[in-house]
A and B are shown apart, each in its own frame.
Chain A
């Protein structure tokens, strides 16, 4: 009886003296990437170049820097009211710091995106916590973006930018990732985004019916009028499963809804197949469908028919289907000198966009098609990415 109590007490004291220091997870490996991308579709050609590097300063502290430059040329379908060719450049710089302490990772980042007629700065913080034997990861994040929106009233080579307004965007996110079995991990993300201010795209116009003697096209163009607030909620559920012969299959579904009446559903399926230490092949299929915003219309009956009017194709009822393939080849599978690994990746996607209530008025009109009966717009886009990644 005495002995039992002694051991119990000793155990308790020993237990109380044990420092419950939670050991930590690890920060990702050091890595540098050089990236090239090309988007062509819908009359637009966008070439992107980027360089990223991340390194651990200490075991607990890492920094990452990214530089991205986008060059746009071409004219999208709905740019009707000015010189048809757009040539513009967007430069984006971002810096991130990561701090790991016990089982928590804290991240802070700042991103600045500048183009002739649009400036955007984002400050973001997030926190990621491992719990329940490292099977669960909970993430919380907040981002604040200041946007300055302008319109180029000149031409591509001789610009004349007028600043139209500001917009403030706040994004609140939360996510939980859970290891279900040794082959299966699942997650759910929630993100609520609010914007306030000048939210329209100044280059897009609405159209409304007018008699043919007023305008031979049968319609006239007008300015879009957007609400000055917007709140959206998106929820994504995803799962990744390890197939016994060494491959992974991922499925995800995202539901989106916002105060402008847009409801979007995204479905995606990915398959990843590696070959030993050298190759990784990936295939993806994605289907997206959205309903139009309440104040969207391809053709309004007359000027000022509603408080809010839009004809921005992003707010139309549409669906798109993507098929993509990605190949990663490790040209340095086991490293060289201080590099641990080197890979080169090619990624191609083909996207078919189908608009359900946005008509192609650039190529079609009177006398063959009266306003509102032009063929619906659709186009194919090709997206190409190539990048070299060095791990060190």
Chain B
């Protein structure tokens, strides 16, 4: 039988943890990255497991999200730069329909893999609470960092984290 005091303490701690993590914009996170399998625009199946052992950044984006469009070319540059060092970037698109995604990527292509999550299962599993969101996962498959939103200059932040994890 837990005393009210201990119950209160645990409730309070749980509240702080839940509240703070729910609204932190960019911070260290922890836990194993939920695995997923989605399809590319071409219809091929792919997922996190295909990149085991690499540093992975999962970027959640949408065609209707302005800041997402802004960071895409920079993410592309970053992908090309660090790919040889064992880094990969997976763009998880959350649009409900594929045609706008296809049109956008035809006009502004990217070289990193883009997977479609129209049912939002992966977004839910990763507790996406801001658009765009970038989740950085280390070589062991653990989530190390979540970045919410995008502002010019954030790509420096991404690069710092990626370099740190590549070195591990």
Contact = CB atoms under 8 A, between A and B. Distances in A.
A–B touch (CB < 8 A): the answer is yes
A20 interface: yes
A21 interface: yes
Interface string B25-48: 111101000000000000000000
B144 to A, nearest CB: 13
B107 interface: yes
A31 B73 CA distance: 23
A22 B16 CA distance: 16
| Interface secondary structure of B, over-half rule | mixed
Given A8-B13, A12-B13, A133-B129, A21 B24 contact: yes
A133 B151 CA distance: 18
A26 B16 contact: no
Contacts of B26: 19, 21, 23
Interface residues of A, number: 18
Question: Which of A15, A24, A133 has the most chain B CB atoms inside 10 A of its CB?
Answer: A15
Contacts, number: 49
Nearest to B149: A23
B149 A20 contact: no
A26 B152 contact: no
Interface of A: 8, 11-12, 14-16, 18-24, 26, 29, 59, 133, 334
A59 B21 CA distance: 26
Given A15-B20, A20-B23, 13 more contacts: A8-B10, A11-B13, A16-B20, A18-B27, A18-B28, A19-B25, A19-B26, A19-B27, A21-B24, A23-B130, A23-B149, A24-B151, A29-B66
Contacts of B25: 19-23
| Interface secondary structure of A, over-half rule | loop
B67 A12 contact: no
Contacts of A29: 66
Contacts of B151: 23-24, 59
B16 A15 contact: yes
B20 A18 contact: yes
A12 B17 contact: yes
A18 B145 CA distance: 12
Contacts of B17: 11-12, 15
Nearest to B17: A15
25 contacts: A8-B10, A8-B13, A11-B13, A12-B13, A14-B28, A15-B13, A15-B17, A15-B20, A15-B21, A18-B27, A18-B28, A19-B24, A19-B25, A19-B26, A19-B27, A20-B23, A21-B26, A22-B23, A23-B26, A23-B130, A23-B148, A24-B149, A26-B67, A133-B129, A334-B107
Interface of B: 10, 13, 16-17, 20-21, 23-28, 30, 66-67, 107, 129-130, 148-149, 151-152
Contacts of B23: 20, 22
Given A11-B13, A133-B129, A20 B152 contact: no
A40 B39 CA distance: 58
Nearest to B154: A23
Contacts of A14: 28, 30
Contacts of A18: 20-21, 24, 27-28
A188 B3 CA distance: 46
Contacts of A16: 16, 20
Contact of A26 (B24, B30, B66): B66
B77 to A, nearest CB: 19
Contacts of B107: 334
B140 to A, nearest CB: 19
Contacts of B28: 14, 18
A124 B27 CA distance: 38
Nearest to A24: B149
A62 to B, nearest CB: 14
A96 B152 CA distance: 23
Nearest to B67: A26
A20 B16 contact: no
Contacts of B30: 14
Q: Which 10 A-B pairs have the closest CB atoms?
A: A23-B149, A23-B25, A21-B25, A18-B24, A15-B20, A15-B17, A18-B27, A18-B20, A15-B16, A12-B13
A292 B136 CA distance: 65
A24 B131 CA distance: 11
A14 B10 CA distance: 15
A379 to B, nearest CB: 44
A59 B152 CA distance: 8
